[in-house]
Amino acid sequence: MITQKQVEGVICNLFKQAVIELPSDVRKALEEAYKREEQDIARTNLEAVLENIQAAEELEIPMCQDTGLPIVFVKLGKLEVENLYEGIRKGVEKATKEIPLRPNVVDPLTRVNTGNNLGRRIPQVDIELVEGEYIEFTVFPKGFGSENNNALMMGLPGDGVEGIKKFVVDTVIKAGGKPCPPTVVGVGIGGSSDMAMKLAKKALLREVGVLHNEERIAELEKEILKLINDTGIGPMGLGGKTTALDVKIEYADTHTAGLPVGVCIQCWADRHASAVLKP
């Protein structure tokens, strides 16, 4: 059995890793963007980002003051887990106090802060049932400077691939510098409205620089990325070659009458961390 205490410890440690250490694939993409840039202001912004990442690791403090909304993805296999959700909640509470994480969770109407990043239905937990005797946790502290620029299109079948491309690029243009580019852009296609948005968010967990395993989707990722970077929005919205580090697409089949498309934008701090527990 996996105990509640084990879950609590893993969740706390994963949040610490996620908010302090940027994944190596994201860091590499930022370094490559810096080398490509020709405009002084763009290079200055990317240099500041890279220095910030280094300082966070050396000082063991969060790389951004917005330590995000606590989101946890769980892959649950065939094993017994004691008080799974309570273990996750306790882990978030412990992380908030010890790292510390900024307390971001508030009542949506009164705006009263809970003070510990716990709340009604928060932390947000997504559970996927899988084969095998293990449980995998992925924490995703999602900042709202980028989250506020997400968008959903309930398109029609006639919109087709061109409609998808236009919607994604228009969403990025509308966001401008608000989500702290260079961003990673997650795109969810198909399913229902809520599924399209969930797919877009899950797409952000994929490795930056690695294309989708289906060629037609990989080609679409590359095409949309080029269109986004051709906008010239650039780092922090002040111009440059790199507006997005990558575009990630996930899809599901959908209803014959619809074409849902979700766009989930992530800032340069594409923070997430994972761990697997086995009996």
Residue 191 has what DSSP assignment?
Answer: E
How many CB atoms are located within 10 Å of the residue 150 CB? 20
Q: Confidence band (pLDDT; 50, 70, 90) for 170?
A: very high
- Which residues on adjacent β-strands are paired with residue 246? 184
Q: Confidence band (pLDDT; 50, 70, 90) for 64?
A: very high
Residue 118 to residues 91, 97, 128, 266, 268: CA-CA distances in angstroms? 10, 12, 22, 22, 26
152 Cβ neighbours under 8 A, 6+ residues apart: 193, 196, 197, 260, 261, 262, 263
The stretch 139-153 carries a mean pLDDT of: 97
pLDDT in tens, 220-268: 999 999 999 999 999 999 999 999 999 999 999 999 999 999 999 999 9
pLDDT in tens, 76-108: 999 999 999 999 999 999 999 999 999 999 999
Q: Confidence band (pLDDT; 50, 70, 90) for 174?
A: very high
Q: Please, are residues 22 and 63 in contact by the beta-carbon 8 Å criterion? A: yes
Q: Please, are residues 13 and 72 in contact by the beta-carbon 8 Å criterion? A: no
Chain-centroid distance of CA 43 in Å reads 24
The stretch 13-23 carries a mean pLDDT of: 98
